[in-house]
Structure 1
Amino acid sequence: MYEWNEAIQKMIYWIEEHICESPSLLDMSNQIGYSPYYCSTKFHEIVGMTMKSYVSGRRLAKATLEIRDTSERILDIAIKYGYSSQEALTRAFVSAYGCTPAAYRRKPIPIALSNIQVVLFPDYYMNKGERTMNKACLKDPEIRMEYIPTHKYIGIWSNEADGYGDFWANNNCDEICGIIESMRHLSDPVVGCHMAGWHFVNGERKYFYGFGVPIDYNGDIPEGFTMKEFPGSYYLVFFHPPFDYLKDNNEVMGKVESLAWKYDIEAKGFETQKYQWNEEVCQDYQRHYPEVLGYEILRPVIRK
């Protein structure tokens, strides 16, 4: 089964590279050496939609971002992404988002973009029995201090889930992440898109997901999201540098989280200074960008 996840993920990446060329099922089958029928069946089984629906969603999402972020004519954008006319793009746009491309360009609103799908996860290698962390790359987690200025955060705070998996078991990942992607251009440069974390509910750490915005943000808040304001604070950052997500994710996350949650700040302080946790005022953050940044947990502190 997981071998097919690997094949479908390659297909998805290939679609991204050729989205303006109207990739067909036949093109796709030629990439992995199986019949169009078999590719179609497995794509639908693993991704949860037909390849045609997936390509249509990604074409519309990319066209939407160009409508928002460029001054290109809507007609030219429509043709670029395979629509027969501006009217064809407008029909698809209204059906998906409830407004025209021109209206969206004048006033962008939160919308659920169709995101690139990920169907290959670290469990693939765990189930194959491969633990291939390169010991030269494996490092002990480190700690540094970082200051995060006063900011607002737009997100969904769970009172039940204590981590990423539990959170998405009860929330629509595609819809929520699509909405967040549509607002990426508004995100805070420090507390950016998809920077999740933990808050406390009755003394227990629970998960939240969303994105930060600058303190002066007064724009739209997507339905189902809440906006909260947090004061500036220093944070202890427990981190591991970039790593191979598929092969090393579980080991890296386990090491960083073990250090972060077990760290005795009352006894150890940081660099000879004495601190205490500031988690009653601010929330813990999580940065998970394996191949670019690595993995980080940020816990707020104040000097004693």
Structure 2
Amino acid sequence: MERWELVDAVQRMQDYINDNINSPITLSQLAKAAGYSQWHCARIFKELIGKTPFEYIRALRLSKAALLLRDNQIKVIDVAFDFVFDSHEGFTRAFIKQFGVSPKRYSDSPEPIQLFMPYRIRDYYLTLHKGEMKMSEKKATSTVFVQVVERPARKLILKRGIKATHYFEYCEEVGCDIWGMLCSIKEAMYEPVGMWLPDNMIKPGTSKYVQGVEIPQDYAGKIPEGFEIIELPPCKMMVFQGEPYDDEKFEEAIEDLWEVMKKYNPQIYGFDWADDEAPRFQLAPEGYRGYIEARPVRELNK
């Protein structure tokens, strides 16, 4: 149980950092949030996260600053002060060191960069040690919202794995930092997703599960190194959205929705599955909105 106490302490530090990212943060404040000494907090944070608290804070601030510069007409100096940098020069040096481009150049011409998009440490350890923590019993019933949406002809920037059939295998093969690069693509039509490709979109020797982001057909921007771009035809997607859930129970939320999808008969509503026409995709699990997954469908009368 001691290990989980440390995980929870680091999670409290992560939560404190997220809530106060635009204010000065001291090790004393993090220690108070975690309930341990400053020395112990610094040690367990580095052990579990792989960065010191201040390396983590700086990388997170720079990534959030990059998104502001990408999406808004805003002065570099204003962004620097918003994220607690003392000067334009200090912010510029840190930004170049993190992303290899100056903030002014990035603001003028945003290209994909490797943003720092950390996972909640407690979610990560719950996944590694599934079943060790006592979970509350599942609800007898749950509500799933279902709708059909149109996807236009578009392109997909993706990174393939080798043999991965799901997210965790993909992380082992490719790494868990792909999301940051995908989130930095300004022209994205929707948020990044994990995808199960139809057989006709899988290259020999590559994985069924990939991560990517959809972009307009006329996209002329940079393709990040190691990624590729493919065409996606117009299609219909049946979107399933579960109830909001506690973040730490994301695996249960996914499994619950999969059970619903497994038994769901789209023919009742005039559709059939069309898994050969488009990738099935999942959005990043976010407890406040419920787990969301979509599967391609076609109308039965067509």
> Considering the TM-score relative to the shorter chain, is it more than 0.5?
yes
**1:196 and 2:204 are equivalent in the alignment:** no
Distance 2:76 2:149 in 1: 43
Question: Which residue number in structure 1 is paired with residue 275 of structure 2?
Answer: 279
**1:171 and 2:174 are equivalent in the alignment:** yes
Question: Which residue number in structure 2 is paired with residue 270 of structure 1?
Answer: 268
When residues 287 and 52 of structure 1 are mapped into structure 2, their CA distance, relative to the original with a 3 A threshold, is closer
Which residues of 2 match residues 54-203 of structure 1 at below 5 A? 54-121=56-123, 122-123=126-127, 126-135=131-140, 138-139=141-142, 141=144, 143-174=146-177, 176-183=178-185, 185-188=186-189, 192-201=190-199
Over the residues paired in the alignment, what is the CA RMSD in angstroms?
2.7
What code does the residue aligned with 2:195 have? G
When residues 203 and 209 of structure 1 are mapped into structure 2, their CA distance, relative to the original with a 3 A threshold, is closer
Give the match's secondary structure for 1:197: strand
- CA apart distance, 1:23: 0.8
Structure 1, unmatched stretches of 5+, are none
- CA apart distance, 1:257: 2.1
Aligned residues of 2:157 and 2:228 also touching (Cα < 8 A): yes
Question: Which residue number in structure 2 is paired with residue 253 of structure 1?
Answer: 254
Distance 2:131 2:116 in 1: 29
What code does the residue aligned with 1:302 have? R
Give the match's secondary structure for 1:152: strand
Distance 1:155 1:31 in 2: 39
Q: Deviations along 1:181-227, whole A, 9 cap, x unmatched?
A: 222x4221xxx222222014499982111211223322222111112
Aligned residues of 1:156 and 1:210 also touching (Cα < 8 A): yes
When residues 233 and 68 of structure 1 are mapped into structure 2, their CA distance, relative to the original with a 3 A threshold, is closer
When residues 283 and 66 of structure 1 are mapped into structure 2, their CA distance, relative to the original with a 3 A threshold, is closer
Distance 1:258 1:70 in 2: 41
Distance 1:290 1:15 in 2: 18
Distance 1:88 1:251 in 2: 44
Q: Deviations along 1:43-87, whole A, 9 cap, x unmatched?
A: 011111111211111222222233333333322322332323212
Give the match's secondary structure for 2:183: helix
More deviation in 47-56 or 192-201? 192-201
Distance 1:117 1:258 in 2: 26
Distance 2:84 2:241 in 1: 43
What code does the residue aligned with 1:162 have? T
- CA apart distance, 1:114: 1.7
Distance 1:299 1:125 in 2: 27
Aligned residues of 1:288 and 1:294 also touching (Cα < 8 A): no
More deviation in 192-201 or 38-47? 192-201
Distance 2:285 2:256 in 1: 16
What code does the residue aligned with 2:274 have? N
Q: Normalization by structure 1: what TM-score?
A: 0.84
Structure 2, unmatched stretches of 5+, are none
More deviation in 39-48 or 126-135? 126-135
Distance 1:250 1:76 in 2: 40
Q: Deviations along 1:16-54, whole A, 9 cap, x unmatched?
A: 222233312122112222111100110011111111211
When residues 106 and 34 of structure 1 are mapped into structure 2, their CA distance, relative to the original with a 3 A threshold, is same
Q: Deviations along 1:137-180, whole A, 9 cap, x unmatched?
A: x4165654332222222112334111111111112212x12112
When residues 241 and 147 of structure 1 are mapped into structure 2, their CA distance, relative to the original with a 3 A threshold, is farther
- CA apart distance, 1:14: 1.0
